[in-house]
Chain A
């Protein structure tokens, strides 16, 4: 069981986490905007997450916490 949480209001929607994810289970939200006006990154399938933390490794604004 792995868990990825986003400090969503600090996400600038750069997509580097989406690109880094080996399981391709992250995406920039198409519908939602965060308080800064960015489409934030979100988890699409938490079940498949392997807690590799690639996403957090590439996140420039350090908004991702990974637990397992």
Chain B
């Protein structure tokens, strides 16, 4: 018998803390699979965020750093400048990357910092119990938008890939989703491409991953995948927003 599917080596052999049905675990696995396939795990430094993925440092077999909230791209910059031949990635949520860490994100991108950012967009602050995130959809109920997000009062969600694609330093920006098998497979291709771009020295690469949060959305894991498809994808269309391709 041959193995069709098994746990990647770069994913630590520990039970992740994520809630049932939360797709963070899938994103972790895809990153680990790519590290394995590219054979770079022992030459990689990962930077974990503050938020649901705060314990990501326990889940990857490469060296890991736990950064302050929003500061992962700055920390990754410091690492990459010291170890230019190492693979350096950050793994961040929407509050971390697009609210408190907006400056670090935008400037790492505009510097063309040769790092890879894995960005989990699940439209809320999961770890603290489901508050409004910069990516919370108009009308979406969270614990701090109990009557639904009203753009007149608190503005509109940020479309991160679109924003970063305007920057010259961004080499690659793609939005993917984890709501079904096909999209998960596409997500892996995007993650692989992002790491390959880093290995080729092309500059800043980001994969925005639309992810579910069944616990805070208040629905079953399967319902959450449908909610993602019906509500998030229309607002956050999937696809490649920037790809400098073979140039540079």
Contact = CB atoms under 8 A, between A and B. Distances in A.
Q: Do chains A and B touch in the complex (CB under 8 A)?
A: yes
B201 interface: no
A53 B5 contact: yes
Interface string B123-156: 0000000000000000000000000000000000
A54 B185 CA distance: 10
Contacts of B180: 20, 58
B5 A57 contact: yes
Interface residues of B, number: 29
A66 interface: yes
A62 B16 CA distance: 9
B1 A62 contact: no
A66 B3 CA distance: 6
Interface stretch (B113-121, B165-173, B220-228, B231-239): B220-228
Contact of B23 (A54, A60, A62, A68): A60
A2 B3 CA distance: 10
Contact of A65 (B7, B11, B225): B7
A7 B219 CA distance: 25
A2 B4 CA distance: 9
Given A15-B220, A16-B222, A20-B181, A60 B4 contact: no
A12 B15 CA distance: 10
A14 to B, nearest CB: 3
A13 B214 CA distance: 13
B4 A68 contact: yes
A64 interface: yes
Interface in A26-68: 38, 51, 53-54, 56-62, 64-68
B21 A15 contact: yes
B4 A57 contact: no
Interface string A1-20: 11100000010111110011
A68 to B, nearest CB: 6
B2 A68 contact: yes
Contact of B20 (A2, A38, A64): A38
Nearest to B23: A60
A65 B3 CA distance: 8
Given A38-B20, A54-B181, A15 B222 contact: yes
Sorted from nearest, which 8 A-B pairs have the closest CB atoms?
A: A60-B25, A14-B21, A12-B20, A66-B5, A53-B5, A14-B221, A56-B5, A66-B4
Interface of A: 1-3, 10, 12-16, 19-20, 38, 51, 53-54, 56-62, 64-68
Given A16-B222, A65-B5, 8 more contacts: A12-B19, A16-B221, A16-B225, A20-B181, A38-B20, A56-B4, A56-B5, A67-B4
21 contacts: A12-B20, A12-B21, A14-B214, A15-B220, A15-B222, A20-B180, A51-B4, A54-B181, A56-B5, A58-B26, A58-B180, A60-B22, A62-B7, A62-B11, A62-B29, A64-B5, A65-B5, A65-B7, A66-B4, A67-B1, A67-B4
